[in-house]
Amino acid sequence: MKRAMVCLGVLAMSLLCGPAFAQKHVPSKVDISWNRFYDYKEMTALLKQLEKAYPDLLSLQSLGQSEQGREMWLMTLNNSDTGKDTDKPAMYIDGNIHGNEVQAMEVVLYSIWYLAKMYGNNDDITELIDRCAFYFVPSVNPDGRANWFREPNTPHSQRSGQRPTDNDFDGDLDEDGPDDLDGDGHITSMWRFDPNGRYRRSAKDPRIIERVGPDEKGELSRAGSEGIDNDGDGRINEDGAGGYDMNRNWPGGWQPNYIQFGAGDFPFSFPETAAIGKFILAHPNIAAAQSYHNSGGMILRGPGAKFRENLYPRGDRAVYDLLGAAGEEMLPYYDYMIIYADLYTVHGGTVNWTSEQLGVVSFTNELWTDTWITKSDDTRLDSEARMRWIDRMMFGQTFTEYSEYDHPTLGKVLIGGGNKYSSRNTPTFMLEEEAHRNFAFTMFHAGEMPAIEMPWIEVKKLSKNLWQITIEIENTKIIPTRTNIAAQNDIGTPDILTVRGKGVEVVTSGTLGDRFDTTLSPVEHRPGRMLVERGIGSRSISTFRFIVTGTSGADVTISYEAEKTRNIKQTIKLEEKVYEAEE
């Protein structure tokens, strides 16, 4: 955006004219329409095309198979000319762990597509890609996704993976799911004709079923979602496909099923979470994470449970707040929220694991909130307004008209209502905007993964063959090289600052408050290989001093290693000098 041109000519003509944000068209080698959704098969095909089109940047691998045998695709985006992915700070980005939250996949796919096509055509993105690596899992729940597209569903069904599960404890698995009785390809609602019912069809719009007033007579009562009693136990739709929640199956504050519904028997008990967990554990270079969900327009951070509140030290909260504030600006109808405090308690969620157990700065974005159809953030839609918007903007496409149906056990019922596209999913004509805004926020997040440099090194001679080397290490980004949560809980490996050279011996070393500080806080042991437990903080400079012996002019190599950013190294000479990085 900062490169956007302001048209001076237009400005001269009209004082009312603001800055224009537009950009030159950069074609992609893979044409993808962003005004539609893609099922699992189409997603797989597009991922393969992208990899083929951008082989220097993209590599597609399967992390394993889902419960039903679908490949768990992971796309790595890395420019190997600037180093191995594992040597760079990396961002892990996934979506669609809930099978019904489909557009999360499109947002991830869009991100891959946009980054790949812009590399070499845009300085900001080129720089970001050259510095960082990205790991994308577009669909964590490919089975749920496949079912949602293929089968009649509601906006909320197929959240679970597809491992057959005995939801109603009758010994049978997935034996009584919903049924598409009216044949519209969706699972909608059933209403029973009931003279004592408390609902009626609205006189203004018969598609609206409204509650009657206290002194009015109704005609309908709720009969649940569309279906029959398939197993003859007297209950309808009580045991459909799956019946768990993979976003409760991660080993961060994991709790058993009776405390946290959907948790599974143990963390990583599903093939999907196990495959991804294994990958993430093998990549300690992951410094940032985003998991896309729908819906509600939220930028969520942990903790998921109150008892983990104290795990987030003040320094980390400040980091989240800075990023979250940027997110609220870039996603104008989104709110930055804390999961347990502002939403509900979640044990064992993806970001709970990555942020609390692995020390990775992580967000979950809840895509879309349906009031945004109005493009006004203070509009609450009542039923009539909602129908109006559906009619005018969607030409009624997300609604199935009510029809009468002879139900085998309920008698005559009305079937109809919002179909599976009627809530949670971004209207396709707005999908590209939603994808781009979220992508841009996530790239902002990625761009703030730690980057370190040595802006200033001073060598001073103390006496013959005795030298003082003072080193500043600067992190120019918001995310520290080690989050406080990691430092406080012994997560991962501390950063390591090494000073060595031929014939050079480190006598003592330590940290300083700043370059003018005269009192060294020394390390007692192994002074030439300092463990920097707290890393380099958010947008800050840490100062270190080494007292070494060595002959004048000897080479000394200073290196700083950190799990979550690129290691840096500089060689200097033992002679009075100040080394300053070029601006």
Partner 1 sequence: MNPAMRRLCLMAAATVLLCGTTSHGAGPYDGYMNNDALVDAISELAQGSAVCRVATIGETGSGREIRALTLASDPDAADENPAILIVAGLDGRHMVGTETAIRVASRLLSEHSDLLDELTFYIIPRVNPDGTEINFGEVNAGYIGTLTDVDADRDAMMNENGPSDLNGDGVITQMRRPNPPLDDRAEFIADPVEPRLLKKPDAREGETAMYSVYIEGVDSDDDGKIAEDGDGSVDLDRNFMHEWPAFARDSGAYPLSEPEAMALATFVIEHENIVAAVVYGRHDNLINKPDSKGKDVSGRGPKVIDSGDANLYEQIGTLYTETTGQKRAEKNDTAGSFHAWLYAQRGIPSFATTVWGRPDPAKKQTDENGEDEDEEVDGNGDAETSETDAAPASDVDPVSGVWTANITIPEMGDMDLTLTLERADDDSVTGSMDMMMGTATLTGSFAPGSGALSLSAEFSPEITIPLALMIEGDEMTGTVTGPDGNATDLTGSRVSSNDAGGSDDAPQGEKKDKGKIKASDENAAAWLAYSDTQRDGAGFIEWTEYEHPTFGTIEIGGFVPGFNMNPPADQLDALANPQTDFIVKLTEKLPKLRVEGPTVKKLASGLYEIRLGVINDGSMPTKTAMARKARTMKPTIIRMSVPVEQIVTGNRVDRIWGLDGSGGRSVHHWIVRVKDGASLSIEIANGQFGEQGVSFKAAPTD
Paired tokens of 538: 């958010």
Q: Which is nearer to partner 1, 249 or 400 (CB)?
A: 249
Give the binding range for partner 1 (CB under 8 A) out of 88-96, 100-108, 525-533, 534-542: 525-533
- Residue 277 engages partner 1 in binding (rule: CB under 8 A): yes
Q: Which is nearer to partner 1, 297 or 492 (CB)?
A: 492
Pick from 409, 521, 540, 552 the residue near partner 1 by CB under 8 A. Answer: 409
The amino acid present at 572, given as its one-letter code, is: I
Give the binding range for partner 1 (CB under 8 A) out of 2-10, 151-159, 211-219, 524-532: 524-532
Paired tokens of 353: 């694991």
* Closest CB 60 distance from partner 1, rounded Å: 27
Give the DSSP H or E segment for 103. Answer: helix 103-118
Q: Which is nearer to partner 1, 267 or 302 (CB)?
A: 267
- Residue 406 engages partner 1 in binding (rule: CB under 8 A): no
Burial class (CB in 10 A: 0-12, 13-18, 19+), 94: buried
- Residue 526 engages partner 1 in binding (rule: CB under 8 A): yes
* Whether the bond into 19 is cis, omega within 30 of 0: no
Q: Which is nearer to partner 1, 229 or 328 (CB)?
A: 229
Give the binding range for partner 1 (CB under 8 A) out of 142-150, 169-177, 180-188, 312-320: 169-177
- Residue 23 engages partner 1 in binding (rule: CB under 8 A): no
Site size toward partner 1, by CB under 8 A: 40
- Residue 507 engages partner 1 in binding (rule: CB under 8 A): no
Paired tokens of 340: 């347990």
**Residue whose C-alpha is closest to residue 422's, from 390, 463, 454:** 390
| 545 DSSP β-pair partners | 470, 510
Paired tokens of 17: 């004219």
The amino acid present at 503, given as its one-letter code, is: G
* Closest CB 57 distance from partner 1, rounded Å: 30
Site for partner 1 in 121-150 (CB under 8 A): none
Give the binding range for partner 1 (CB under 8 A) out of 115-123, 124-132, 489-497, 573-581: 489-497
Q: Which is nearer to partner 1, 183 or 256 (CB)?
A: 256
Q: Which is nearer to partner 1, 220 or 311 (CB)?
A: 311
- Residue 521 engages partner 1 in binding (rule: CB under 8 A): no
- Residue 490 engages partner 1 in binding (rule: CB under 8 A): yes
| C-alpha torsion 249→250→251→256, nearest 10 | -20
Question: How many DSSP H helices and E strands does the chain contain?
Answer: 11, 24
- Residue 256 engages partner 1 in binding (rule: CB under 8 A): yes
Site for partner 1 in 292-311 (CB under 8 A): 305, 307
Give the binding range for partner 1 (CB under 8 A) out of 9-17, 43-51, 132-140, 520-528: 520-528
- Residue 411 engages partner 1 in binding (rule: CB under 8 A): no
- Residue 561 engages partner 1 in binding (rule: CB under 8 A): yes
Paired tokens of 266: 């143990």
- Residue 257 engages partner 1 in binding (rule: CB under 8 A): yes
With b meaning 16 or more CB within 10 Å and e meaning fewer, what string describes 473-493?
bbbebbbbbbbbbbbbeebbe
- Residue 494 engages partner 1 in binding (rule: CB under 8 A): yes
Give the binding range for partner 1 (CB under 8 A) out of 19-27, 72-80, 473-481, 486-494: 486-494
Q: Which is nearer to partner 1, 282 or 325 (CB)?
A: 282
Give the DSSP H or E segment for 455. Answer: strand 452-463
* Closest CB 381 distance from partner 1, rounded Å: 37
Pick from 39, 87, 170, 335 the residue near partner 1 by CB under 8 A. Answer: 170
**Residue whose C-alpha is closest to residue 140's, from 268, 52, 54, 327:** 268
Length of the chain: 583
> Distance between CA 314 and CA 295 in Å, rounded?
29
Give the binding range for partner 1 (CB under 8 A) out of 71-79, 230-238, 328-336, 442-450: 230-238
- Residue 179 engages partner 1 in binding (rule: CB under 8 A): no
Give the binding range for partner 1 (CB under 8 A) out of 153-161, 187-195, 217-225, 262-270: 262-270
* DSSP state for residue 514 in the 8-state scheme: S
Give the binding range for partner 1 (CB under 8 A) out of 118-126, 151-159, 462-470, 492-500: 492-500
Contact of 289 with 450, CB cutoff 8 Å: no
Contact of 515 with 458, CB cutoff 8 Å: yes
- Residue 164 engages partner 1 in binding (rule: CB under 8 A): no
Pick from 21, 169, 344, 516 the residue near partner 1 by CB under 8 A. Answer: 169
The amino acid present at 449, given as its one-letter code, is: M
Helix (H, G, I), strand (E, B) or coil at 356: helix
Per-position DSSP letters for 516-572, written without gaps between them: T----EE-SS-TTEEEETT-S-TTEEEEEEEEEE--TT-EEEEEEE-TTS--EEEEE
* Closest CB 517 distance from partner 1, rounded Å: 24
Give the DSSP H or E segment for 223. Answer: strand 220-225
**Residue whose C-alpha is closest to residue 497's, from 426, 444, 569:** 569
- 3-class SS letters over 396-455: CCCEEEEEEEEECCCEEEEEEEECCCCCCCCCHHHHHHHHHHHHHHHHHHHHCCCCEEEE
Token look-up 């290691």 returns 567
- Residue 341 engages partner 1 in binding (rule: CB under 8 A): no
Per CB under 8 A, residues contacting partner 1 are 166, 168-171, 229, 232-234, 251, 253-259, 265-268, 277, 281, 305, 307, 347, 357, 409, 489-494, 496, 524-526, 531, 561
